[in-house]
């Protein structure tokens, strides 16, 4: 059985380093590279034998943890290994909460990267969510779960709302009618249990989709 591994990072040299690590762990695997979140989403949707996504949090088209949420929605059964320059345990926890199976710092050595790739490919779980931290409200965890369950298109609409775009602008950028945008917003508000687009944006920001790393 063939495997395809998607490397999504906007730095060509770092993509090469990750490709080297992948080749050492899975010599027969096919490698797809993407330099933007949009390209990564397209590649993830088109690859039938996708076995792993290696994703940089900070790349063109991504806001905070939106890249994880979008690719997880696109391919919910494919593990996502995040490689990021973000510091602190909270970034790793949030990455896992949005669907990542692992979190790796960009300054890790090649052996550490290879070990993380191997773990991600052989793990029984495709969504390693960390236990809720002490004191974290259950309601926040439930809403975060709803965000990760939005469809790829709904996530794109929500991210556009966070960016301050009007329905007409969203319709143009996503090549759909304003009526379709409104329908997606209705579904988003229902899933997030909010009354309007402003509340939806506030909820998304409170969960980290608006954080930049």
Together in a domain, 148 and 113? no
Same-domain status, 100 and 149: no
Question: Final residue of a domain: which of 77, 92, 122?
Answer: 122
| 95 and 159 within one domain | no
User: Do residues 11 and 101 both lie within one domain?
Assistant: yes
CATH label of the domain that carries residue 155 = 1.10.10.10
Report pLDDT digits (tens) over 16-54.
Answer: 989 999 999 999 999 999 999 889 988 998 998 999 999
Q: Are 115 and 41 in the same domain?
A: yes
Number of independent structural domains in the chain: 2
Confidence of residue 80 (pLDDT cuts 50, 70, 90): very high
pLDDT confidence tier of residue 179, bands split at 50, 70 and 90: very high
Number of C-beta neighbours around residue 204 at 10 A: 27
Which of 64, 65, 66, 14 has its CA nearest to residue 35?
Answer: 14
Residue with tokens 């320059």: 85
Claim to verify: residue 194 and residue 156 sit in the same structural domain: yes
Residue 211 located in a structural domain:
no
Tens-place pLDDT, residues 132-158: 333 343 344 455 566 767 888 888 888
Domain span at residue 188 reads 138-206
pLDDT (0 to 100) of residue 208? 61
């Amino acid at each position: 059985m063939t495997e395809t591994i998607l490397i999504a990072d906007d730095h060509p040299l770092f993509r090469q380093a990750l490709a080297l690590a992948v080749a050492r762990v899975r010599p027969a695997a096919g490698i797809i590279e993407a330099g933007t979140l949009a390209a990564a989403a397209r590649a993830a949707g088109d690859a039938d034998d996708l076995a792993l996504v290696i994703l940089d949090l900070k790349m063109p088209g991504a806001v905070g943890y939106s890249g994880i949420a979008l690719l997880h929605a696109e391919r919910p059964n494919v593990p996502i290994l995040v490689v990021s320059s973000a510091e602190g345990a909270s970034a790793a926890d949030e990455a896992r909460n949005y669907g990542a199976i692992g979190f790796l710092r960009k300054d890790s050595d090649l052996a550490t990267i290879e070990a993380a790739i191997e773990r991600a490919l052989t793990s029984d779980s495709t969504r390693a969510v960390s236990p809720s931290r002490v004191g974290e409200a259950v309601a926040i965890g439930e809403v975060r779960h709803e965000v990760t369950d939005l469809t790829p298109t709904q996530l794109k609409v929500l991210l556009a709302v966070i960016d301050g775009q009007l329905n007409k602008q969203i319709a143009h950028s996503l090549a759909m009618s304003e009526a379709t945008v409104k329908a997606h917003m209705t579904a988003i508000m229902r899933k997030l249990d909010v009354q309007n687009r402003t509340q939806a944006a506030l909820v998304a920001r409170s969960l980290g989709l608006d954080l930049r790393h």
